[in-house]
Amino acid sequence: MTTPRLAVLFDVLLEQKGSDLHLGIGYPPMGRIRGELVPLREQPLTAAEMQALLFEICSPEQQRQIVEDLDLDFAYSYGTKARFRANYFNKMTGLAAVFRTIPSKVLSLEDLKTPEVVRKLSERRSGLVLVTGPTGSGKSTTLAAMINHINKTRPAHVLTIEDPVEFVHESMRAQVTHREVGPHASSFATAIRSAGREDPNVILIGELRTNETMKLALQLASFGVLVFATVHTNSAPATIDRIINAFPADEQQQVRGMLAESLAGIVAQQLIKTADGKGRVAALEILVGGPAIASMIREGKVFQIASKMQAGQGQGMQTLDMHLERLVKDDVITPEAALEKAQDKENLAKIISRLKPDWQVPESLKSLG
């Protein structure tokens, strides 16, 4: 098989441990290295070079899709070196693309240093576990580690429904079936509907994009299946609101009931640059479902959940700010990086001032107080 022209850029990205490759006409190829966008060469991409680079690794059907539908998502295997999640799209300057690196090695929960409660959530026999956060916050990596834990420890049927399939799990103790929206099913909803007939113990749904997929996921979770899914929200309470508000007013009460009954937990994460500048670390907000949380959801008192998370440390719960405080205390991240992601910046600034008396509170926060 001939080496694609993109190989040169892929190699530079992988060598620098980058997470994404951005290609746009009129700009040099850019790599996201430790969270920052960095040019990978000096000369900008021309329209002709862009088309040659992108179309070379596409099937005729995929080329037709980008020309007619104006965007395209697929996974691309770069030999044994890496897999990429590719997104082709059109913008003002013409054709463009972003390639997200999917590590070939699935990291374990231990590798990611996730708290014990995340392992416990992956050992549940049923319920809905949501991993949330903005794009590029490591949601897929955390979910892959949870699936990896199940794969190593229990004889279950694990079904993943993704667009495209990201991490490929070789069956160990579990039997892992990967289904891709597009080649294997016309939509997430179709795939989830037929999932119930495929006798799964665990289902991973790439993303809950519509209220139809949300409702199907909630039903499966209440039928005794462990359902993992991602949502693009920044905190656990916001995730609950987002799901309920995706439905028309007359259905919201029923959805509250379903969510209260089936929610096992929410892991909301943000990636933050480490203090030594060498990498990034995940800061996690963790909500664990239980009777108290269930009644708050049912009664529409989601605003009370944050204080319940602060008080629920014994069950492994924590707010994002609690984790940020610990990361600053252990010198893993800088106070400035913590404040950038904090939910209550003023309060966290006060806590950090006590932890690190030499630290100067930023002027912008002084004016708040």
Q: Residue 36: inside a domain, yes or no?
A: yes
Assess whether 200 and 251 both reside in one domain: yes
Q: Residue 149: inside a domain, yes or no?
A: yes
The pLDDT mean for the chain works out to 92
Q: Residue 349: inside a domain, yes or no?
A: no
Assess whether 159 and 121 both reside in one domain: yes
Assess whether 86 and 138 both reside in one domain: no
Q: Give 181-217 pLDDT, tens digit per residue.
A: 888 888 999 999 998 888 999 999 988 989 999 999 9
Domain end: 67, 102, 137, which one? 102
- Residue 136 has a pLDDT of 83
Pairing of strands 94-102, 20-24: antiparallel
Task: Give the domain CATH number at 288.
Answer: 3.40.50.300
Assess whether 45 and 183 both reside in one domain: no
- Residue 369 has a pLDDT of 44
Assess whether 262 and 190 both reside in one domain: yes
Q: Give 291-313 pLDDT, tens digit per residue.
A: 999 999 999 999 999 999 999 99
Segment 112-122 mean pLDDT: 95
Q: Residue 224: inside a domain, yes or no?
A: yes
Assess whether 133 and 255 both reside in one domain: yes
User: Does residue 336 register a pLDDT over 80?
Assistant: yes
With 0.95 as the threshold, say if the pTM is over it.
no
Question: If we measure between CA atoms, which residue out of 311, 212, 320 comes closest to residue 266?
Answer: 320
Residues forming beta bridges with residue 87, ordered by sequence position: 73, 98
- Residue 324 has a pLDDT of 96
Q: Could you tell me where the DSSP H helices lie in the chain?
A: 7-15, 47-55, 60-69, 116-122, 139-153, 188-195, 211-222, 236-245, 249-262, 291-298, 305-311, 320-329, 335-341, 345-355, 363-366
Q: Give 27-72 pLDDT, tens digit per residue.
A: 999 999 988 899 999 999 999 999 999 999 999 999 999 989 888 9
Q: Residue 110: inside a domain, yes or no?
A: no
Whole-angstrom distance, CA of residue 260 vs CA of residue 243: 12
Q: Residue 107: inside a domain, yes or no?
A: no
Assess whether 161 and 191 both reside in one domain: yes
Whole-angstrom distance, CA of residue 90 vs CA of residue 54: 12
Q: Residue 206: inside a domain, yes or no?
A: yes
Count the domains in the chain.
2
Assess whether 285 and 200 both reside in one domain: yes
Assess whether 50 and 143 both reside in one domain: no
Domain end: 55, 80, 102, which one? 102
| Residue pair 217/227 in contact by the 8 Å Cβ criterion | yes
Whole-angstrom distance, CA of residue 87 vs CA of residue 66: 10
Assess whether 134 and 245 both reside in one domain: yes
For the record, the structure tokens of 38 come out as 């960095």
- Residue 152 has a pLDDT of 97
Whole-angstrom distance, CA of residue 54 vs CA of residue 291: 52
Assess whether 97 and 178 both reside in one domain: no
- What domain range is 243 assigned to? 116-335
| Residue pair 84/10 in contact by the 8 Å Cβ criterion | yes
Q: Residue 25: inside a domain, yes or no?
A: yes
Assess whether 146 and 282 both reside in one domain: yes
Question: If we measure between CA atoms, which residue out of 355, 275, 296, 276 comes closest to residue 321?
Answer: 355
Task: Give the domain CATH number at 86.
Answer: 3.30.450.90
Domain end: 43, 74, 102, which one? 102
Q: Say what percent of the chain tops pLDDT 90.
A: 77
